[in-house]
Amino acid sequence: DTGVSQNPRHKITKRGQNVTFRCDPISEHNRLYWYRQTLGQGPEFLTYFQNEAQLEKSRLLSDRFSAERPKGSFSTLEIQRTEQGDSAMYLCASSEDRAVQTQYFGPGTRLLVL
Amino acid sequence: AQTVTQSQPEMSVQEAETVTLSCTYDTSENNYYLFWYKQPPSRQMILVIRQEAYKQQNATENRFSVNFQKAAKSFSLKISDSQLGDTAMYFCAFYGSGGSNYKLTFGKGTLLTVNP
């Protein structure tokens, strides 16, 4: 297993366009998380899946954001009508389905909205 | 809501020396977990060390150890025999076992530079 992978690693888009990011968690990890990290800040929680169920969404996740995890495997995060304020690193993490497990992070997708 | 504060935006240390990074947190929970993650330049975040709040013994992982003071809500990271590869952003993170038991709450990070 090579760990959590994310694609693309970098994305440049124009304001108003839609973008979609993909995360492939460590196999057999039932829990999957999305975080956003802006320059000079620590990651901030966006949303959480247990298998295919999206169990929690942060207030940071506006209506323009949607995340899915079909079949409880990979996950996608879509941002519609991107804004310059969406520019950030989007991190995905996964963990085993136990009470407390270490979250393993992917390399992230860096988004720049022009 | 939990908060995590890292009061040192940047620190530097000479190779082979020891450095301590500070972290304080605020929570009303009694059972929780604390983590230090390392994020090297342009590389992904990796776990350095983890501490369960119910354990009095401080966690250690090779050159990395913590000083966990539950009453003071303090969780510092000590790096001994610093190496050039330790240069990275270090994030302190909180994981609650109560209502927020699905996410990590991070501090703003400390940029550590190890100088040759």
CB contact under 8 A, B33 and A108: no
Residue of A nearest to B104 (CA): A45
Q: Are A50 and A25 in contact (CB under 8 A)?
A: no
Contact list in A for residue B109 (CB cut-off 8 A) is: 40-42
Cβ contacts below 8 Å, chain A against chain B, sum to: 51
Q: Among B4, B90, B104, B106, which would you mutate to test the A interface (most chain A Cβ atoms within 10 Å of its Cβ)?
A: B104
Q: Smallest Cα–Cα separation from B45: which of B7, B86, B89?
A: B89
Please give the Cα distance from B104 to B92 (Å, whole number): 10
| CA–CA distance, B108 with B116 (Å, rounded to integer) | 26
In this prediction, residue A2 carries a pLDDT of: 75
Which pairing describes strands A109-113 and A10-13: parallel, antiparallel, or unpaired? parallel
The pLDDT of A6-23, averaged and rounded, is: 97
Name every residue in B having a CB less than 8 A away from some CB of A. Answer: 4, 33, 35, 37, 43-47, 50, 52, 91, 93, 95, 97, 101-109
Question: B102-115, pLDDT tens digit by residue?
Answer: 789 999 999 999 99
Res. B76: pLDDT tops 70: yes
Do the Cβ atoms of A45 and B109 come within 8 Å? no
Residue A114: CB partners within 8 Å, gap ≥ 6?
A: A12, A13, A14, A15, A84
Q: Are B102 and A55 in contact (CB under 8 A)?
A: yes
Residue B99 has pLDDT above 70, yes or no: no
Residues in chain A with CB shorter than 8 Å from the CB of B33 are 100
Residue B63 reports pLDDT greater than 70: yes
**For residue B1, pLDDT beyond 80:** no
Structure tokens at A50: 């247990």
Q: Which token pair is B82?
A: 């610093």
Looking at residue B113, its amino acid is T
First to last CA, chain B: 41
d(CA B82, CA B80): 5
Nearest to B47 among A4, A35, A102 (CB): A102
CA–CA distance, A19 with A111 (Å, rounded to integer) = 9
What backbone torsions phi and psi does residue B109 show, to the nearest 5 degrees?
95, 155
Which of B44, B97, B109 lies nearest to residue A42, judging by beta carbons?
B109
Antiparallel, parallel or unpaired: β B3-5 and A109-113: unpaired
Q: Given pLDDT bands bounded at 50, 70 and 90, which one contains residue A17?
A: very high
pLDDT at residue A10, rounded to an integer: 96
Each residue's pLDDT tens digit, A3-12: 999 999 999 9
Alpha-carbon distance values, A87 to A45, A54, A114, B15, B69 (Å): 16, 24, 9, 35, 37
Q: CA-nearest residue of chain B to A45?
A: B103
CA nearest B32: which of B102, B114, B115, B80?
Answer: B102
Separation of alpha carbons A79 and A90, rounded Å:
11
At residue B100 the predicted structure's pLDDT band, cuts being 50, 70 and 90, is low
Alpha-carbon distance B10 to B87, whole Å? 11
Measured between CA atoms, how close is A111 to chain B, in angstroms?
Answer: 14
